[in-house]
Chain A
Amino acid sequence: METLANLLVGFGVAFQPLSLFMMTVGLLLGLAVGVLPGLGGTAGVALLLPVTVLVPPEVGIIFLAAIYWGALYGGVITSILFAIPGEPWSVALIFDGYPMAKQGKAGLALAAAFVSSFVGIMVAAVFFVTLAMPLALFALKFGPPEMFAIMMLAFSTFVGLGTGGALKTLISTSFGLLLTMAGLDVVTGSPRLTFGTMAFLSGFHFVPVTIGLFGLGEIMIDGEERLSIEIKEVIHAKLGWEDIKGGIMATKEHFGLTLLSALMGFFVGILPGTGATPASFLGYGIAKQYSKNPEKYGKGAIEGILAPQAAANAAGTGALLPMISLGIPGSPTAAVLLAGLYMWGLWPGPRLFLEEPVFVWGLIASLFLSGTACLIICLIGTPVLASIMRIPWGLLTPVIVIACFIGSYVMRNLMFDVWCTLVFGGLGYVMKKLKYPLAPLAVALVLGAMTERFLRQSLIIGDGSFGIFFTRPISAIFMVVALFLFALPAFKLIKDKMKSKDEEAPA
């Protein structure tokens, strides 16, 4: 009852004209920022943080949170249309979203992504209202060993993903992991794979690399196909409300999967320091693992959009929970918002809930409002977005290339990142032509650094023994599941061999 009363107070704040106005502005800004590759929600929030000193804190946080929600929705647009991840967590959307767009189903893919985003945010918002404190306290139990186990789980769901055979998958994965090691080693502080250069000291960031591998690589593939293959009459999907209806229907059809992904995503999101990106990969991996026909994945399966997007948005929302309830940032964006709290003279921490109810509940209420408003804005925009695909190639391509380069630069303000995009663009093209699977490379790039950090932190805690992963109950459970999934393809292989032998025997 008390919760309900608080929530009503929150809606009172969120429905103020100034809040509503700032929220709308924030959502539109967030969508814009999300569309631009490299400029994530974190950057958007950070950029506009200083401006919020001009409005009351409860309006300021609603504004900043709206930017973040906008970016959560907006990141998928370029992933689906051009294979350029607008946000780190929308890398997984490329795997099936881009093939769908190529088949002329861009509108449907977008609509499905937006609807599942909405489901993700709403699931997270409900948890926010009901179980914030106990969940935040539970999340604290996750130390480095538990986090490492979760990373292993994420990797294990990607076993056997994509085409190209085991050898090429292994090359992709180990190459991606190797790339993440360049820079200062977190444990010893010594520079690795830098060869004494300043440029490599910053390390390879996965955003410029994935922009190159997927975005620029696809542009070259496109350029070649445009000339060499007789272009089939581009299937002009009916631009209109059909797609939106289709998106809603698809979500309805796979509602169980979407909901499960959202729940899983929310939980990964509240864990410290992970954010939405691992959640979206886990969502994709799990959807594929449990699919009856996993061979559809990577070729335009709509589940490959619904699951990662619901997970990413639930995780993105969940990442704010430990910040609000305990003052611990769950993601870089949450950390920036935390800086906002200082600026407004608020003190984050367990007392915030009690001392500043108007502020906290205003934010929570705005979750529901922003999530819904953004869905409406996006769905209305879907036909327009899908029609971008009709812009002539000679005009659209330079826009994409320039956006790729600028996006790579603004991420860390390094020219090195622009060169990375260029070089990996060339590599992405070649690898794609030779049928190297790029998805494992992307997963390795995104999760590699985190995984190594968690592993080595755990080993220091556990005196250099791997036993630590199996003596702590939570990590033991995840590790066992992960190991099982790693071994699954081998089991399958043996089973298939036995079967074929059985079949051969009578003959």
Chain B
Amino acid sequence: MSGIRSRYSFVLITIMVCAVLFVFGEVAEAADWPTRPVEFVISAGAGGGADKYARFLVGLNVKNKYIDEVIIPVNKPGGAGAVAMQYLLTQKGNGHMMLITLNSFVTTPLFQKLPFTFRDFTPVFLLALDNFPLWVQKDSKFKTFEDFLSEARKRSILVGGTGSKQEDEIVFRAIEKIGKTKPFKYVPFKGGGAVAKALVGGHIEASVNQVSEAGPFYPEFVRPLVVFQDERLDVKGYEDTPTAKELGFDFSYNMMRGIFAPPGISKSEQAGLVALFKDISKDPDWLAFAAKTGLQPTSITGDDLMKFVENYEKKHITIMKAQGWLK
């Protein structure tokens, strides 16, 4: 009787010891990072463009526990990203914080003449490059990109996009310049959703929404004419959408979906952040989402990321100078 009991207690104790070791082992392993919840700063309000991505990524961590601490999304909207960037700079050395960035990460400091640039931040990861197809209504008279261009040379076409002097307008102004068209009548909207809705409703003639925004309405309401990137979209249903370069129109532009951290964080904190996003970049749900929305998944980190963004800055300076937005 007692033999059985002692055997049971032996097993029980073994299990408990193992559990304790396991728990503490885990803690010991993860001791350097993170030690508290990680703040995920979003430069848009709840429901805005970058917000959707950020919350999606947070959901992946809830599901698969890439890090043991929670990731807390914190919205800091305003000033086309300036407010969020400024906030990160005040949190120098805080390794439990990261920012999801768009191209405004490069353009906002330039255009608004802010006292900082992207170089002040710690690079973490470039998750993906997002696309800019040119969309028109389903029954639009523009059948091809050439149709669109030749009409645009005759009259000012009414187009729309997110914000002013940000990504969408940059694309249209570049088309203007390269295609030698008349200036577009550009209507700024508050967000990608509003732009897509205006296009579906016929209030504008064309937009450069991402596939993740306008895709749900293709083919019922809208269709893509061309995509402004080096390779065709690797998405079912978009195989026949040509790239601009194929049509002899030398313009390629992408949206960076990147992650940056405040300045002055420790090497181990930076490594922890990079490891987190390395895991996320291999997540099957993320890859499925990327495949559906035509994102090109990337995994650029560290100095390579800085170089990548520097190239982006050069490109933007050229475009913005040509527009007279920069002197």
A residues lining the B interface (CB < 8 Å): 42-43, 45-46, 49-54, 140-144, 183-189, 191, 198, 201-203, 272-273, 322, 326-329, 332-336, 338-339, 342-343, 345, 347-351, 412-414, 453, 457, 460-461, 463
Contacts and interface: CB of A to CB of B under 8 A. Distances in A.
Name the residue in A49, A144, A187, A335 with the highest tally of chain B Cβ atoms < 10 Å from its Cβ.
A335
B62 A191 contact: no
A463 B194 CA distance: 21
Contact of B216 (A54, A141, A188, A327): A327
28 contacts: A43-B46, A46-B46, A46-B47, A50-B55, A50-B73, A51-B62, A53-B59, A53-B60, A141-B201, A188-B165, A189-B164, A189-B165, A198-B83, A201-B78, A203-B78, A272-B194, A273-B194, A273-B197, A329-B47, A339-B52, A342-B212, A342-B289, A347-B216, A349-B215, A351-B216, A412-B77, A413-B76, A461-B158
Contact of A202 (B59, B78, B194, B196): B78
A414 B202 CA distance: 38
Contacts of A345: 285, 288-289
A198 B46 contact: no
B103 interface: no
6 closest cross-chain pairs (CB), A and B:
A349-B216, A335-B47, A202-B78, A143-B203, A189-B164, A140-B201
Interface residues of B, number: 61
Contacts of B314: none
B292 interface: yes
Interface in B74-123: 74-80, 82-83, 86-87, 111-112
Interface of B: 45-48, 51-52, 55-56, 58-63, 71, 73-80, 82-83, 86-87, 111-112, 158, 163-166, 185-191, 193-194, 196-198, 200-204, 212, 215-217, 220-221, 285, 288-289, 292
A322 B201 CA distance: 12
A350 B201 contact: no
A341 B241 CA distance: 26
A347 B220 CA distance: 14
Contacts of B82: 198, 201
B216 A202 contact: no
B83 A201 contact: yes
A338 B194 CA distance: 13
B228 to A, nearest CB: 21
B319 to A, nearest CB: 15
A144 B112 CA distance: 27
Nearest to B90: A198
B217 A336 contact: no
A49 B193 CA distance: 19
B78 A343 contact: no
Contact of B78 (A140, A183, A461): A183
Given A189-B111, A332-B45, 14 more contacts: A46-B55, A46-B73, A50-B73, A140-B200, A140-B202, A189-B80, A191-B112, A202-B83, A273-B193, A273-B194, A327-B217, A350-B220, A414-B76, A457-B188
Contacts of A457: 187-189
Contacts of A185: 164
Contact of B83 (A144, A332, A414, A460): A414
B46 A42 contact: yes
Contacts of B74: 413
Contacts of B198: 143-144
A204 to B, nearest CB: 11
B52 A342 contact: yes
Contacts of A202: 77-79, 83
